Amino acid sequence: MNQIAYRAPWIIAYQNGTHTLLKNGCVVVEGDTITHVGHGVPEDVDDVVETNSVISPGLISTHAHINESPVDKTIVEDANKRQFWNTSLIEILPIRGAAMTDSHRESCTNLSLAEHLRTGTTTVMHMGAPQDYLLEAIDRSGIRAYTTGSFRSGRWLTNDGKQVSYEWADDEGFSGLQRALDEVETIRSMKHPRIRPWLNPSQVDTCSENLLREAKKAADDSDVPITIHAAQSFTEFNEMTRRYGRTPIEWLADIGFLDERVMIGHGIFLGGTPAVNFHGDDLGLLADSGASVSYNAWTFARGGQNMFTYRKYLEAGVRVCLGTDSATQSMIESLRWTAVLGKVAEQRADGANSDEVFNSATVDAANYLGREDLGRIAPGAKADLLFFRTDSATMAPTRDPVKSIVYYAQPEDLTDVMVDGNFAVENGTVRGIDVARAAAEVQAAGEHIWESWPQGDWGGRTIDEHIPVSYPAFKESGS
Ligand SMILES: [Zn+2]
């Protein structure tokens, strides 16, 4: 197998348990693996590629909904959500979800995979409606992924725009779990180098205690990681305290769900933090259990919400990983918003720093997965590499490549993305996906969803009545 050396002015290389800044260095890739990192080029390489890049480890998104997120765009921002404490979950996303067809989800999947790759994600952890199409799309895109279909015992809705209601179908939760376990076996039997399973009981307030106990046991028996939405909205927090007299995190701890194989998305509304007026020590419970949190800063910030605070979670000993959740699905944006909002929340310029957020998006997520071969550039690690140009208006000058990526990089600066030793993005082009076609299909999906809005809304409103656009429509003069 050929050994190819990539020389670069900057390499974010991993050494002695930390990322380091290697100036004028070289990464050697053989097949799917990094075999050498250092200043000099080994004599026995077959080829040397000169680049003008920062070579970074690929980013790991620990929370994504690739078969639906693109159609969140323009329906969740700037809307009045007072009755549901600023979340889109109750009154907006169920309407969007009900209007979507499998074909819409396929189009969204293609566009999402392209967006992830184009913005630095080399490993995406997906949750969403079960769909056979996903595995084919992930394979074709070249990305690395964790996936299986989500399942739950019920769903929330509102019938009047005032209250949250729940509809229960516990049998569907258990059949969904069985389908997901079948998918675990399917994925394992594929022996695909880039696709692995995990489990996703959807949300803490839509899963019965029995379903969560079974799902956690099944995850342990199958040796797969497991994720659940919890502490993701004030409405959910209130429902759990009303239902059980416990915070969502306390209840998960009570039923034996929390341990180091669990990823909590999003873990914002915690007892004992300013996000809720409810005392407790959910941060301590998370830290003691070893469970991780997936923080998706942009999704919450656009709802006027923030983590209190990123730094305090780290100081409490909670592993915080990053994701993208909704639109935008850019891990560059996730890095940036986590750093900036962390500073704002702490009211300090060093309230969240580039090394911390970069760790969250790389080695911390890899360590959650038990994957010492991901999230780092070191001999023996998988060749998941990002090539950011250094000579662009946004990147130059480069003194500290991690700060440059966190605070300044744009998707256009990310010219090439290697996953598992192959280029999934080359000169800015996603090789495995027809982006123009996917974008046109997602536009059509959006048009369908927007027109269907009155059928899904409790009050029969049009989408423009429910979620106004930013300015009135242009009128032809004289009309
Ligand atoms: Zn989510």
Taking the centre of ligand 1 as the mean of its atom positions, its distance from the CA of residue 470, in whole angstroms, is: 26
- What are φ and ψ of residue 304, in 5° steps? 80, 20
Name the CA radius of gyration of the chain, rounded. Answer: 22
Domain shared by 411 and 387, yes or no: yes
Within a domain: 476: no
The predicted pLDDT at position 247 comes to 98
Amino acid 158: pLDDT? 97
Burial state string for 187-226 with b = 16 or more CB within 10 A and e = fewer than 16: beeeeeebbbbbbbbbbbbbbbeebbebbbebbeebebbb
User: 386-442, pLDDT tens digit by residue?
Assistant: 999 999 999 999 999 999 999 999 999 999 999 999 999 999 999 999 999 999 999
Q: What is the mean pLDDT of residues 443-454?
A: 98
CA 347 – ligand 1 centroid, Å = 28
Whether 9 and 105 share a structural domain: no
For 72-127, what is each residue's pLDDT tens digit? Answer: 999 999 999 999 999 999 999 999 999 999 999 999 999 999 999 999 999 999 99
Phi/psi at 143 (nearest 5 deg)?
A: -80, 160
Same domain, 414 and 278: no
- Domain tally, the chain: 2
Q: How far is the CA of 290 from the centre of ligand 1 (A)?
A: 21
Q: What is the pLDDT of residue 479?
A: 63
Would 303 be classed as within a structural domain?
yes
Cα 64 to ligand 1 centre (Å): 6
2 exposed, middle or buried (CB, 10 Å; 0-12, 13-18, 19+)? Answer: exposed
CA of 325 to the centre of ligand 1 (A): 5
Domain boundary among 368, 392, 418: 368
Residues 6+ apart with CB under 8 A from 61: 116, 121, 123, 124, 125, 322, 323, 324, 329, 331, 334
**Residues spanned by the domain of 358:** 59-368
CA angle 272, 278, 281 (to 5 degrees): 30
Q: What is the pLDDT of residues 235-294, one digit of tens each?
A: 999 999 999 999 999 999 999 999 999 999 999 999 999 999 999 999 999 999 999 999
379 Cα: distance to centroid of ligand 1 (angstroms): 34
Distance (Å) from CA 128 to ligand 1 centroid: 9
Q: How many CB atoms lie within 10 A of CB 44?
A: 9
| Per-residue pLDDT tens over the stretch 155-186 | 999 999 999 999 999 999 999 999 999 999 99
pLDDT tens profile 287-310: 999 999 999 999 999 999 999 999
Domain membership of residue 463 (yes or no) is no
Evaluate whether residue 124 is within a structural domain: yes
Measured CA to CA in angstroms, residue 468 lies from 450, 461, 465 at distances of 12, 11, 6
Cα(22) to centroid(ligand 1), Å: 36
How many alpha carbons lie under 13 Å from residue 399 in its C-beta half-sphere?
0
Residue 311 pLDDT = 98
**Residue 85: how many CB atoms within 10 A of its CB?**
17
pLDDT, tens digit (0-9, with 9 covering 90-100), for 315-333? 999 999 999 999 999 999 9
State the distance from the centre of ligand 1 to the C-alpha of 232, rounded, in angstroms.
9
The CA 265 to ligand 1 mean position distance, Å, reads 7
Q: Domain containing 227 — which CATH number?
A: 3.20.20.140
Task: Report pLDDT for 459.
Answer: 97
Backbone angles phi, psi at 104, to 5 degrees: -60, -40
Q: In this structure, are 383 and 253 located in the same domain?
A: no
64 and 49 part of one domain: no
Mean pLDDT on 450-478: 96
412 within domain boundaries: yes
Nearest-CA neighbor of 286 among 248, 323, 322?
248
342 and 423 both lie in a single domain? no
Q: Cβ distance 306 to 269 under 8 Å?
A: no
Does residue 138 register a pLDDT over 90?
A: yes
CA of 68 to the centre of ligand 1 (A): 11
Gap from CA of 228 to ligand 1 centroid (Å): 9
> Of 429, 447, 469, at which residue does a domain stop?
429
Protein residues placing their CB within 5 Å of the ion ligand 1? 325
For the domain that residue 24 is a member of, what is the CATH number?
2.30.40.10
Which residue has 């979950």 as its token pair? 89
CA dihedral 425, 427, 428, 433 (to 10 degrees): -40
Q: How confident is the model at residue 129 (pLDDT cuts 50, 70, 90)?
A: confident
Q: Would you say residue 164 lies in a domain?
A: yes
Report residue 130's pLDDT band, with 50, 70 and 90 as the boundaries: confident
How far, in Å, from the CA of 63 to the mean position of ligand 1? 6
Residues 78 and 204 in one domain: yes
Instruction: Pick the last residue of a domain from 391, 407, 429.
Output: 429
Distance, in Å, from the CA atom of 163 to the CA atom of 1, rounded to the nearest integer, reads: 62
In whole angstroms, what separates CA 103 from the centre of its chain? Answer: 22
What are the CA-CA distances from residue 110 to residues 35, 115, 141, 299 (Å)?
Answer: 32, 9, 8, 21
Q: Residue 378 above 70 pLDDT?
A: yes
User: Does residue 370 have a pLDDT over 90?
Assistant: yes
How far apart are the CA of 445 and the centre of ligand 1, in A? 20
Q: How far is the CA of 190 from the centre of ligand 1 (A)?
A: 27
Based on the fold, state whether residues 100 and 126 are members of the same structural domain: yes
233/230 Cα distance (integer angstroms) = 8
Distance 329 CA to ligand 1 centre (A): 12
Global pTM? 0.98
The answer to the question of residue 449 being in a domain is no
> 266 alpha carbon to ligand 1 midpoint, in Å?
8
Sign of the dihedral defined by the CA atoms of residues 283, 288, 289, 292, in that order? positive
The answer to the question of residue 472 being in a domain is no
Ligand 1 centroid, distance to 350 Cα (angstroms): 28
Chain segment 11-57, per-residue pLDDT in tens: 999 999 999 999 999 999 999 999 999 999 999 999 999 999 999 99
Q: Are residues 382 and 360 in the same domain?
A: no
Both 141 and 249 in one domain: the answer is yes
Query: Cα angle vertex 76, ends 234, 273, to 5°?
Result: 25
CA of 25 to the centre of ligand 1 (A): 38
pLDDT of residue 1: 80
Contact (CB, 8 A) for 75 and 463: yes
Q: What are phi and psi of 68, to 5 degrees?
A: -150, -20
pLDDT tens string 341-366: 999 999 999 999 999 999 999 999 99
Q: Peptide bond preceding 147: is omega within 30 degrees of 0, i.e. cis?
A: no
> Please, what is the average pLDDT of the chain?
97
Q: How far is the CA of 69 from the centre of ligand 1 (A)?
A: 9
132 pLDDT band (50/70/90 cuts)?
A: confident
Clarify whether residues 325 and 394 are in a common domain.
Answer: no
User: Do 50 and 136 belong to one domain?
Assistant: no
Q: 96 C-alpha to center of ligand 1: Å?
A: 14
Q: How far is the CA of 321 from the centre of ligand 1 (A)?
A: 14
